[in-house]
Structure 1
């Protein structure tokens, strides 16, 4: 039976035949581009391994002596005291960022060739990044690739602590008195060095549009989780670092004197270090789960102290050690400045759609040349609700239509901020229903993004499973829109079967499916399973007492356009044009190097400025100046180019449909949807986990028997319980895979700030 099903599955035609798509380039050009891409990838890997080797070797005494000698030679030159550290520890990161620009450009051109290559695979294969290795741990769902990264960090920590302990023991052996204070001094110095290198990794994930995140194709949702992990580690190291020195000073009886000392023995500022430790502790406490969930404003506003953290960090460690983390901080500054420039102007809201259960859909105007992939998200600020708060939302509209001039997001009232937006939208609907009203409410929206995957991995599988909980359906609406648009445009698409599993509380939430247009999709390719968890049977109409049809539920919603200023969101975005991103990065880096060299030649060396806190402050000032002056010049040119490109398009934003014609919706949508009613048991803890597990097991067992030996992409967007349950099921089926069963590749689209 399984063999017959496998044969039937293998003969299922894809939505668009790959063999009918012609090559964009001839074979010679494609071969040259592939060779160049392989060469760039090899060089970047060698640089990354070299950078890690330098980090691991830093605790070795021979390395410290070599760096000290090199620093002595360059102190009076244009390189200055920070030159060696910058070349060794920031240089590789920046060079990798430079090389990633041509690599990503080539990857974009070869995307169709990559789809063809995948289509020719006869056997599925495992991938470390999509294999959930840990599903129930304190870190949530952790893939095999993430476990490798965690092991590298643990190895570095143990290696460094061991080397510093051995070196400290050798020094302690020659001491005859005051051993205890010296032990705490060695411990404080060692933990400080380890914390600085952890800090170098801390800033990399939070640069949302960083070219490095695009290179490794890590969406900001996952990168934010890595930032949280690294933040806990870094804060712990810096806290222990400060405690060790305070204990040493307390033993020596100079605690208060040393804390208030601005210039210490090494020229750095002890007081700046104490202030910096206080700042990072405030940020850490405000970012803990209970505070972040119940007092989001406290978390958001406290996190803006990162500006003071960077300044006092430079005052405490000086320009020499600040050069170790210069590259990650520079990439973060570049991203932050670009986000500021993008979000200065408000975005025009074309329409609002009010769905049941406090769900709102906003449609925003965007330039045609602004490109993004499905599963992307934007950060949204509404001026009428808050002038400072930015909240992330998944993009629910497709991205492959080149003529598309709008972008939509779905917002559910879950907290104070989202509830206020829904209240304003409801008042807009009421105002438009009353013609006598002259003063209409307004919604002023500001946008950062979109951000997302560089490669549309949802298009890289022959079979796709989308599992959503509640409003988690939003990103999958964009995925389905992209897939259907490929059919219209006749572009390569591997997909043969799509299964959408959606769990909602009430049946009236089915109206969200009305935003899907499937007029050109063959119905058997799409199956939608909807689980209504709070209703045991279809609802009845209030007047006649008849059962409401599923199609009527799907096609029912209330729509009204709001009042907004006629403007588009800016095309300046870190995940936008790769060439402009590269020019922006290169010009700023060259500007930083020039400013530091000029500062050393014309100020520090002639006036014999001592190393320490003052040089650290000057180094940070050079970083800020390079971003504003050199980067700002490129951003101005980028903005002018973006305006020119946008002006070429027709001013058809207002032609976007403001109401949905129910007759345009495909009647097969309800036919493709299977709705299952059944009250969810009102249990807590392990019982609800078992309930979800039973449904997941039934679904995946059915897939394993019918879809055969293929790669299946599984994307989850929902609560943590749903995510861990699906990940556990994927892991179990992959470990105990049968010969003619698929391999499940797990992807999570769930994150929150």
Structure 2
């Protein structure tokens, strides 16, 4: 190993150690927060020292204790991922040793719960969920204990109320405090470029279920918090309190506005509404801005800083996505399949690299200016360095409109498209398996197309041993078999597929007992992009993680400087005179400072990224003729395909008994199929089956 690689490994180990220290410290703080020890022994001395600062005042304590550690963790995660990406050691020499290392923890990634409201949950997820619920119960128990012990008939807290009314008032406060714990973690899973997720091998798509779980907990606790106060105000004849907006304390009206916005979002997340009225779900979720704004007004900026770190990281990610979506990308061709499916092929900057299973959000203004839909990328950035492809199945109003537009006889010279992404895992480890079984239903085959293409490229380099691949795909109709023609790209395969590549395709047509159509009727289309259309490029340039680390650190430093100056020369002098400063104004100052710092640093970073590393591709490729020609690799794939009509795949028979110490079982399709595969590979079943679900049905 070269000295440079050794230095990178040392730095990564130091980052890992520092990260563990920060995580342990943060965990201890969350555990101790509901106790009297934290309030009297820890918080009081910190407020006595830091709370008197002329630059930050009372919010300075929470800035240091809650916000700074999480921003530092995100920064360290970016540096770690940058070093990992640059390390050739990680890319080329992680074979047998990596397999042994990961197999030690293979049981923790196996499904433990298959049915139930939580869906398919692994052993690790059950452990983490149990620990988080234990934290919530610990907090509620501590809060309620102090409520019932300290509030007695002789307690001064009664203040003319009945005993149950005083306790209800205290319980309402404690429910809100516990809800804030869930809110603090709510936005981490939906930051698509989050280094915190990528560093532990997660993506925002695979973490959406955590956001859903946390969202339900947040709204259940905050709704209970609000109902308790409404009952308390009614019982004590204080209905007017509902309209109170205290100048320096808690604003009840702001809390009610925040709760109403949250309830509207919550109501549209239920599957019956989300699936049938996706547009309603999509648009109402923008109320998160109202929800967070009035939450900050409700509790004040000092307490809000406990839950703002996740929102801060999300804001950076969201603004970067906004900047990327302002440009139209270069759509060069399409393939229209007879099964209400289209493949869109975009021009790509060669320096844009992404892993298999990545996805991209697509917007077509001619269909809808506001709607964005996620689609799995079917191309391989290694096999097709200058092209990126996505497959879109007509399953809703938006996608059906696109299919009708492209399949009509009317010639379309150009289609304006905007994108966000690609987003996906920072790395993949499919090569650690001896064999790879991919199980799909319908359009669930799309992530496996990218995996197969990526492994085809790897086999041509002869640098790693390629696992034996088996693709088990179920389709409803014969016409859906045309999707198999998308497994190989339009361009990129000019030679025979490597002899080391072992692939079998077992296709099942469930609703037809014999071929009823010609699946090879594929309509090719070519477009003439505008000169303003741009190839898809990484929004932050080649060193995206390093650039994101710069944005996070510099924006946070600028935010601290702005707040320090405003507090020292505006807020502190006024508080010295009147001892009070309008809480809403202070909250607004903090939020505007965060916004200004994020917008400024992100805009500069994106502008600098656009100036580098793009070399225009002027080659004229006859895409249409390439679409029409059948290559020898395509013939090889046809010979490896076995089609079964009128039956469903017997997954238990196909999976149980597979030979090999490590068999990767990937599944993407309907929930029923995923549950069946998860049950076969679940905890306590065959030890060699390593289950992984790929689902984009959020």
Which band: TM-score by shorter chain? over 0.9
Distance 1:575 1:206 in 2: 23
Q: TM-score, normalised by structure 2?
A: 0.92
* Residue of 595, 601, 604 corresponding to 1:630: 601
The 5-angstrom pairing of residues 464-475 of structure 1 reads 464-475=436-447
Matched-pair contact (CA < 8 Å) for 2:59–2:302? yes
Query: Does the alignment pair 1:751 with 2:692?
Result: no
Are 2:502 and 1:525 aligned?
yes
**Shift of residue 719 of structure 1?**
0.6
Match of residue 644 from structure 2? 676
In structure 2, the CA distance between the partners of 1:631 and 1:441, relative to structure 1 (3 Å rule), is closer
Q: Is 1:701 aligned to 2:656, yes or no?
A: yes
| 1:430-462 Cα distance to aligned partner (Å, 9 max, x none) | 234xxxxxxx46421110000011111323322
C-alpha separation in 1, matches of 2:438 and 2:336 = 24
Per-residue deviation, 1:111: 2.1
SS in 1 for 2:94: helix
**Which of 304, 328, 331 is residue 313 of structure 2 equivalent to?**
331
Distance 1:95 1:106 in 2: 17
Match of 1:67 in 2: 43
Tell me how far apart the structure 2 counterparts of residues 300 and 522 of structure 1 sit (CA, whole Å): 47
The CA distance in 2 between the partners of 1:168 and 1:491, in whole Å, is: 65
The Cα shift of 1:538 comes to: 3.1
In structure 2, relative to structure 1, the CA distance for the partners of 1:452 and 1:524 (3 Å cut) is closer
- Alpha-carbon offset, residue 556 of structure 1: 4.4
Provide, for residues 86-127 of structure 1, a one-character-per-residue CA deviation record: whole Å limited to 9, x for no partner.
211122211111111221122221322552344674995442
| Inter-CA distance 138–614: structure 2 relative to 1 (3 Å threshold) | same
Superposed, 1:557-568 pairs within 5 Å as: 557-565=522-530, 566-568=533-535
* Alpha-carbon distance, 1:560 to partner: 1.4
C-alpha separation between the residues in 1 aligned to 2:173 and 2:454? Answer: 53
Q: Is the 8 A contact 1:124 1:743 kept in 2?
A: no
For the 8 Å contact 1:379–1:447, the answer to whether it is kept is: yes
Structure 1 position 567, deviation (Å):
2.5
5 Å matches for 1:23-172? 25-26=1-2, 28-65=3-40, 66-73=42-49, 74-108=51-85, 109=87, 110-113=89-92, 115-118=94-97, 121=100, 124-127=103-106, 130-172=109-151
Q: Is 1:411 aligned with 2:392?
A: yes
- Secondary structure of 1:35 counterpart: helix
Asked whether 1:594 is paired with 2:568, we answer no
CA separation in 2, counterparts of 1:387 and 1:181? 51
Are residues 1:355 and 2:337 paired?
yes
Q: What is the CA-CA distance between 1:510 and the residue it aligns to?
A: 2.2
Partners of 1:120 and 1:622 in 2: how far apart?
Answer: 47
- How big is the shift at 1:207? 0.7
- Aligned 8 A contact 2:471 2:504 in 1: yes
Q: What is the CA distance between 1:481 and its match in structure 2?
A: 0.5
Which 4+ runs in 1 deviate beyond 6 A? none
Corresponding residue number in structure 1 for 2:475: 504
Counterpart in the other structure of 1:721: 672
Residue 701 of structure 1: how far off its partner (Å) = 2.4
Change (3 A) 1:203 1:385: same
Per the alignment, do residues 165 and 663 of structure 1 end up closer, same or farther by CA in structure 2, a change over 3 Å counting? closer
Per-residue CA deviations over 1:355-410 (Å, capped at 9, x if unaligned) read 12101111112211111101000000111110000000000111224x61111111
Confirm or deny that 1:289 pairs with 2:271.
yes
Check conservation: 1:209, 1:574, Cα contact below 8 A: no
CA distance in 1, matches of 2:68, 2:288: 24
Change (3 A) 1:736 1:752: closer
Matches within 5 A, 1:223-372: 223-255=207-239, 257-263=240-246, 267-372=249-354
The separation in 2 between residues aligned to 1:600 and 1:524, in whole angstroms, is 65
Partners of 1:221 and 1:752 within 8 A in 2: no
* Whole-Å separation in 1 of the counterparts to 2:196 and 2:552: 11
Contact 1:589 1:626 in 2 (8 A): yes
CA drift of 1:287 comes to 1.7
- 2:552 and 2:401 map into 1 onto residues whose CA distance is 39
- How far the C-alpha of 1:721 sits from its partner, in A, is 0.5
Q: Give, in whole Å, the separation in 1 of the partners of 2:512 and 2:487.
A: 24
Instruction: Indicate how the Cα distance of structure 1 residues 619 and 119 shifts in structure 2: closer, same or farther if over 3 A, else same.
Output: closer
Say if 1:526 and 1:85 are closer, same or farther in 2 by CA, change over 3 A: same
Measure the CA separation in 2 of the matches of 1:107 and 1:524. 28
CA distance in 2, matches of 1:533, 1:563: 39
| Residues 672/297 of structure 1: CA separation in 2 closer, same or farther (3 Å cut) | same
Provide closer, same or farther for how the CA distance between residues 321 and 51 of structure 1 changes in structure 2, counting only shifts above 3 A.
same
Deviations 1:509-564 (A, max 9, x none): 22222233473233871111111111112347xxxxxxx7xxxx4x5422112354
What is the rounded CA distance, in whole Å, between the counterparts of 1:475 and 1:580 in structure 2? 28
CA distance in 2, matches of 1:30, 1:193: 47
Look up the match of 2:364.
Answer: 382
**Partner Cα separation in structure 1 for residue 14 and residue 102 of structure 2:** 27
Cα shift at 1:217: 1.8
Q: How many residues end up aligned between the 2 structures?
A: 676
Kept after mapping to 2: 8 A contact 1:342/1:573: no
Deviation at 1:270, TM superposition (A): 0.9
Structure 2: how far apart are the matches of 1:342 and 1:460? 35
Q: Which residue of 2 aligns with 1:13?
A: none
SS of the residue 2:388 aligns to: strand
Deviation for aligned residue 1:246: 1.5
Question: In the TM superposition, what whole-angstrom CA distance separates every residue of 1:545-604 from its partner, at most 9, and x where no partner exists?
Answer: xxx7xxxx4x54221123543422342169972111111111111111111111211211
Decide whether the 8 Å contact of 1:268 with 1:613 is kept in 2.
no
For the residues of structure 2 that align with 1:445 and 1:488, how far apart are their CA atoms?
A: 33
CA offset at residue 426 of structure 1? 1.2
Structure 1 residue matching 2:402: 3-state secondary structure: helix
Q: CA deviation at 1:728?
A: 0.6
CA contact (8 A) 1:587 1:630 kept: yes
**1:79 partner SS:** coil
Q: Spell out the pairing of 1:529-540 with structure 2 (5 A cutoff).
A: 529-539=506-516
Given that residues 56 and 156 in structure 1 are in contact (C-alpha distance below 8 angstroms), is that contact kept between their aligned partners in structure 2? yes
Deviation at 1:75?
3.8
CA contact (8 A) 2:506 2:643 kept: yes
- The answer to whether the 8 Å contact 1:125/1:743 transfers is no
Q: 1:463 aligns with which of 431, 435, 454?
A: 435
TM-score under structure 1 length normalisation: 0.86
Q: CA RMSD in A?
A: 2.3
Cα distance in 2 for residues equivalent to 1:331 and 1:122: 32
2:620 and 2:292 map into 1 onto residues whose CA distance is 42
Q: Given that residues 413 and 526 in structure 2 are in contact (C-alpha distance below 8 angstroms), is that contact kept between their aligned partners in structure 1?
A: no
1:1-41 Cα shifts (integer Å, max 9, x gaps): xxxxxxxxxxxxxxxxxxxxxxxx42x44444333322211
- DSSP-derived class of the 2:437 partner: strand
Question: Contact 1:465/1:501 (CA < 8 Å) preserved in 2?
Answer: yes
- Structure 2: 5+ residue stretches without partners: none
Q: Is the 8 A contact 2:242 2:252 kept in 1?
A: yes
The answer as to 2:549 corresponding to 1:582 is yes
Secondary structure, aligned partner of 1:145? helix
Check conservation: 2:338, 2:521, Cα contact below 8 A: no
